[in-house]
Structure formats: structure tokens, C-alpha cells
Structure 1
């Protein structure tokens, strides 16, 4: 299994400042986000790819509803040519509330994601694409410089329709924070053995396991109160259940146990999401404690 870290909500200069420690940590991947109001996803990814040499860089996720597929393919192709094999692209339909805020909510969220994914894949493969769909409208568009090896496309989805689309049209799926082994197992059953499952997981690794769990408790409590999280959280009806199932939290032994459960459920990669302000401390803990224990 691969291991990575996700930097979420930080000012762009702080993201860049963590690039070298992450590149030297032994982690396999570094993921950034493109949430509304935060730093641009492709700008972050391009800078981090240039600043690092060992880690792969992922963008999870770019919202299909607000990005024209031709221009999205141009961005992906550029990073694919500049940094072959090191960029992972994530696409989702976008959070409905954010889409409404910017006046970009499509008539059909899944239609938008389906058509954008299909168009981007064809463009990255070097095809000339014409499509007059429910959301995407392209007339004879092609990339002048398609990537020699197209970067992998991963869909950030939650429900059955999204998983069916991922199984048909993507190289893998990205599961947001709040995904426990039971949910991962159901996703593996839905997408089959040939699709990569990347799990984002809240992280708090400390020598005092109870203190680590207590630090993540408010995060998990908020997640339990959000309707859109219910599908992922599944049987985790209490905060303690959720802390056990959907986080990597506690002392070393506890974190190793939770990672083993995710691996047995079918995860191919776990991308750790540390608490705000604890990024550097958790990078050090991963480098010095967790990764050596895993690789022993």
C-alpha cells in the first residue's frame, strides 16, 4: 500500500514550505485540494512537482462542473509532459453548495462528471473530440501536445452512481475523509479489482493514544452531524465507533491496526489528513515512527 499526506486549507506559501520535508519523509504521495476559496489546485500541483523529486503529487479534486473539459485536459497534459508519471488527477462533480455560490450548478451533477471525464480521457489519449451532450459541448477539439503517457484519472465520488461511473470510466476512486473499512470494502466490490482506491483519512499520531483520539474527536463529531457523510460512515453511530473506524488516530500500535484494517478492506493508498496547525509535527511523526514501523 502507498502512503501520502494531504495539505488542506493552508496558505499557498505554507504548502510550498512543506514540500521538501514531505519529499524527504519517505511518503509516496502529496495531495492538494481545490476547494472553493482556497489555493488553486493546478498552481499548487505544478509548484510542488517542481519543488520535489520523490513524491507523486495528486489533485483531489477538481470540480467538473466549473472546468471546461478541454482546458482541464490541457492542464493535466501539461503536468503529465513536464513530470511524467508523477501527477495524479482527481475529478469530482463538485460540492453542490459551492457550485450554487458561484452560479455553476449544472442541470445534472452526474451527467456533468460523466461527460467531462469521458471528454478529458479522450483528449489526453490524443483524440479529436466532438461532443454535444447535456453538459459538455466540444466541436473538433484536440490537444496539440497530448501527454506521451496520460496521467491517471481518479474520481472523487461517494454513492453507487459515482462508483459505477468510476468502474466504467476512471483509473481509480478517491474516498474522502470519513471512509472506514466497511465502506472501503463496499467500494472495492463496486469498482472491482482493477481500480485504485485512495482513502483520505484523518490523522493524529501521538505517543499518548488517548490524547490523539481526543484531538480528533471534534472533527469526527462534526462529520457525524452532516447528512452527506452518512453513506461513508455506515454503522459508525457514535463518536467512539467513528474514531475507531474512520481515522488513523492513537499511538503507534493503534494507527498500525487501523491501517491494516484499511488494507484488508481493499485500499491501495492511504493519504493522511492532519489537523490544521499540526502538519509539520505529523510529517515528522510519519517519517520517524509510522513509516519505519510499516516497512519493517
Structure 2
């Protein structure tokens, strides 16, 4: 099982990706969240110039945000800058769409979009929106066509999985959803969390910074899905804070600081005890406990763990996670808890 990294795209992402390469991470994925991030293709291009080996790609691209030609141009430019290292993941849009008040992309549109994207990369003429288009990039303006870039699709339900089976090279999944992983030869799972020091409390300031944003993701997902947020630890406090915001702007409050730090509602939930759920909502625990969780994911068919560090010490979180994870694959050696 490969160990990769994922980052909430920031101006520091190119440097964080360089650190991840030095630590041995297989791939680095960046969020496509323009309402809170710099442009994902821009940051990936800067990362390509600072690295030599690590795989690079956006995860996930939201079709509603860009014309397919724009993403095709971005992918072929990145492939030219980092030959053989580019991959692309698509999704219907959680924070990337809902934080701007937009609805998720429909799966029928997603299917058409990805088919057009792949055909553009092959150098074909594509009909889109009533017109015909082709990548006309001369030599030196993009990688020469055809361009072979692996495509992963983030899918959980039956419609999404059907599109992934038809069009994707792999599955990108989240929230410990591994039921369909064995259907794909490449199954990536995004995780959050931190490696605990001996005796470190779950409600400590360091754990709050490093695992709190991943834990808060449970509230964001539950609210958008129409689930019972109040049933979660600290959920009633979270919901009361969100409901103070006028309904037309609640999506702004829900997704504020998403997977970066805690927003006002997340803070209220933390004070009400949401931190107690961290061992289940994130991959947080001792090094031994982390290895046990990752081993279980591997047994479920996950072939790539995608770890997102948060907090003030991104380099330290990356180092601690991969140090613990790498002991999974040290065959024949006796493992300790360090």
C-alpha cells in the first residue's frame, strides 16, 4: 500500500510537497477549492519545479468550476513539467461547490465531462456545448498529444461507482468508505489525524490543531447530507451556532476554514466534547494503533492512503505519519510502538 499526502491548497503547498517528497511520500494531491485556496494548477506547477520524483495531481477537480478544455490544458501542462508524475481525480464537489452555494455536479454531466477530458488529452476533436474543439497547443505549449494521465473518480453511491467503473483508472474515496475498493486496482483513501505521543490527551491544543479539522469534517458532511448533526458528540452546540447565521449564508459558515482549522461552529462543538470522537472520525492514535488502522484498510482493498496533515507543523505531522506507516511494510522485522 502506497502512502501519499494531500493538502488544503495554500501558498505554502509547493514547499510542503517538497518536504513530502523528501520523506518518501508516493504522491501529493491538492484540493481544488477556489473559494479558500490559490489556483490548484498554479501550485502544482510550482511543486513540479521543486521536486523530481513525487506524483502530483488535483484531488478532486470539480467539473462545474471549469470548462473541460481548461482542465485538459492544466493537466497537459503539468505533465510537460513533471513527465510521468501527473494524475487527476474528479469529484462532484463538496466544499469546492457547496461553499459557493452551488449544487454538486450530476453524475450524467460528470460522465460526459470526463469522457470529453480524456478525448481532449488524446488529441481528438470533441463536441461540447454546441461547438467543436481540439487541443491546438503547439510544441512547447503543452505535452504532445496523446497524453496518458490516470484519472481517479471520487464516488460512494451506485451512480458514481458506475461512472468510475466505466471511465476511471481508480477510485478516490473518503470517510473510511472501503466497501467498493476491491473493484479497482487503484483505490485511494483520504484520511486525517495525527500520531499521539505517550499519554497525550485527545483534547490537547496540539491534537486540536492536528486532528480537529479532520474531526470537524463529520459535521460538515452530516449537515450537507441532511443527517442528524445533533446526534454527533458536540453536534447540538455545532448546530446551534450554525443556525444563528441567516439561512441563505449558512453554507458560508459551514465550510469556513474547511480542513484547515476550526470555524466558529467547530470551536463550539470542540468545547462541547466533539474531540471524544477523534479516534473514529480520524486516523489518530499511537503509532501501533495507526498501523492497525492502515492494515485494516489494506485488507479492505485500499492500495493508497492519502494523508492530509493540518496544524502549524505540517512537516512534523508528515514525518510522524510516514514513520509509523512505513513499519507496516518492513517485512520480517519486529515492530515497536515508536
Q: TM-score, normalised by structure 2?
A: 0.71
Match of 2:184 in 1: 193
Task: Please give the residue correspondences for 1:172-187 in structure 2 after superposition, counting only pairs within 5 Å.
Answer: 172-176=170-174, 179-180=175-176, 183-185=177-179, 187=180
Once the two structures are TM-superposed, the CA of residue 93 in structure 1 deviates from its matched residue by 2.6
User: Which has the higher mean CA deviation after the structures are superposed, 164-173 or 255-264?
Assistant: 164-173
Unaligned runs of 5+ in 1: none
Please report the TM-score for the alignment, with normalisation by the length of structure 1.
Answer: 0.80
Question: 2 CA distance for matches of 1:255 and 1:229?
Answer: 29
> What's the secondary structure of 2:127's corresponding residue?
strand
Counterparts of 1:271 and 1:157, CA distance in 2: 16
Equivalent residue runs for 1:5-16 within 5 Å: 5-10=5-10, 12=11, 14-16=12-14
Q: Does 1:269 align with 2:269?
A: no
1:246-292, Cα deviation, whole Å (9 max, x unpaired)? 522111100000000111111110111122323121122135x3244
Secondary structure of the residue aligned to 1:18 is: helix
- Which sits farther off after the overlay, 66-75 or 263-272? 66-75
| Deviation of 1:110 (Å) | 2.0
What count of residue pairs does the alignment treat as equivalent?
276
Q: 1:166 to 1:242 in 2, by over 3 A?
A: farther
Inter-CA distance 142–175: structure 2 relative to 1 (3 Å threshold)? same
Distance 1:209 1:252 in 2: 13
1:237 deviates by 7.2
CA distance in 1, matches of 2:312, 2:75: 30
Provide the secondary structure at the position in 2 that maps to 1:226.
helix
2:23 aligns to what SS in structure 1? coil
Give the Cα separation in 2 of the matches to 1:143 and 1:167. 30
- Give the stretch that moved more between structures: 78-87 or 197-206: 78-87
Instruction: Give how far 1:202 is off.
Output: 0.6
CA distance in 2: counterparts of 1:117 and 1:258, whole angstroms: 33
Question: By percentage of residues, which structure has more strand?
Answer: 1
SS where residue 316 of structure 2 aligns?
Answer: helix
260, 284, 288: which one pairs with 1:253? 288
2:314 pairs with 1:279: yes
- 2:109: which partner in 1? 112
Where structure 2 has 5 or more consecutive residues not aligned to the other structure, the ranges are: 138-142, 234-273, 331-338
Counterpart of 1:139 (choices 129, 132, 141) is: 132
SS at match of 1:78: helix
Provide the rounded CA distance (Å) in 1 between the counterparts of 2:53 and 2:286: 27
Give the Cα–Cα distance (whole angstroms) in 2 for the partners of residues 99 and 225 of structure 1.
Answer: 11
In 2, Cα distance between equivalents of 1:227 and 1:286: 27
